[in-house]
Amino acid sequence: MQTIKELFGTSKPIIALLHLRELPGDPGYVRGDKIEHQVEMARRELTALQDGGIDGILFSNEFSYPYIDELSHVTTAAMAYIIGRLKGEIRVPFGVHAISDPMATIDLAAAVDAQFVRSVFTGGYVGESGIRSKNAGSYVRRRRELELDDLMMFYMINAESDGDLSGRDLAVTAKAAVFKCHPQGLCMSGIHAGQDADTDALKRIREAVPGTPVFSNTGTRRENGRSRQKIWGFLTTGFWVQRVIWGLSGHSAGHVRHGTARGDGRTNFHLKQRLDVTRPMEGKWYIALIICGNYIRRR
């Protein structure tokens, strides 16, 4: 299997999340809408993100609210159709996340030849969708069955707002996941998109699993950037340190690497500042920039 540096061309990739809009079968899908509308919106975001200089793209069905543990076939089929339509335009490594359904995520990755996936692959949780149980062994075996030996799996070790039924500290969960499941990376989230991933928890996880990439999955913003940089900047000398954008909206991304981004007339950020802010687009709020290092701008 490739290393992160071999796949993305850097050991500290900037990965942008491309949120697909409501899909056929989703409660929010507009009656009479056509899938081509979703294709064109995704195409505009893909173009903006790639022109901005990101290192990777993660496609997800962010607006399939409320989420269910076993996705309808129409959802993954729609995701595969959109990604397939865009495949010839994708110039960077890309991954997929069929939210709340790890098995569908693996199957989708096989269908579109994705290079990495992100999901809650382990643990038991309770929340708005009831009790949820994830078995990493099943998903790793499915990857093996489909001969996806080079597919990187990034494990979300907390299920955002859902409560962990084990009651373990996240550092213990991280160590167990690394020892038993051999993930290519771990993701630590806030309670939902745009919400801060707890800095102290990130520090404990980083210390618990030296040698394993750890992604701050949500919510790094101007007001918490300095404290997070102290933790993650410290690690550049001795551990894997990753910088990731999970959820950077394409229209408002603009030039990610080369200056400012103005997508809706109000957004303006510069990566050299090390910080970012959340931004609205078409009435939707997106999480923004995840920074785990000294400078996100890399020249």
Measured in residues, the chain has a length of 299
Structure tokens belonging to residue 243: 């910088």
- Looking at residue 284, what DSSP letter applies? E
Give the residue numbers spanning the domain of 186.
4-286
Q: Does residue 63 sit within a domain?
A: yes
Q: Does residue 119 sit within a domain?
A: yes
Q: Distances from the Cα of 69 to the Cαs of 99, 102, 134, 163, in angstroms?
A: 8, 8, 9, 16
3-state class (DSSP) for residue 252 = helix
| Cα–Cα distance measured from residue 192 to residue 163, given in angstroms and rounded to the nearest whole number | 12
Helix (H) or strand (E) holding 80: helix 73-86
Type of residue found at 163: G
- What average pLDDT does this structure show over 210-224? 73
Q: Distances from the Cα of 191 to the Cαs of 160, 194, 241, in angstroms?
A: 4, 9, 23
User: Per 3-state DSSP, what percentage of the chain is helix, strand, and coil (rounded to 5)?
Assistant: 35, 15, 50
- pLDDT tens across 249-281, in order? 433 344 444 433 333 332 233 332 322 323 333
First to last CA, the chain: 27
Q: Does residue 33 sit within a domain?
A: yes
| Cα–Cα distance measured from residue 56 to residue 244, given in angstroms and rounded to the nearest whole number | 9
- pLDDT tens across 140-198, in order? 999 999 999 999 999 999 988 889 999 999 999 999 999 999 999 999 887 777 777 77
| Cα–Cα distance measured from residue 291 to residue 276, given in angstroms and rounded to the nearest whole number | 9
Q: Distances from the Cα of 9 to the Cαs of 44, 72, 181, 291, in angstroms?
A: 24, 35, 25, 18
Report the domain count for the chain.
1
- pLDDT tens across 41-100, in order? 999 999 999 999 999 999 999 999 999 999 999 999 999 999 999 999 999 999 999 999
Place of tokens 């919400």: 195
Residues 218, 192: contact at Cβ < 8 Å? yes
* pLDDT confidence bin for 203, thresholds 50/70/90: confident
- Can you give the CATH number for the domain in which 86 is found? 3.20.20.390
Lowest-confidence segment of 7-21, 27-41, 175-189 by average pLDDT: 7-21
Q: Residue 52: how many CA atoms within 13 Å on its side-chain side?
A: 31
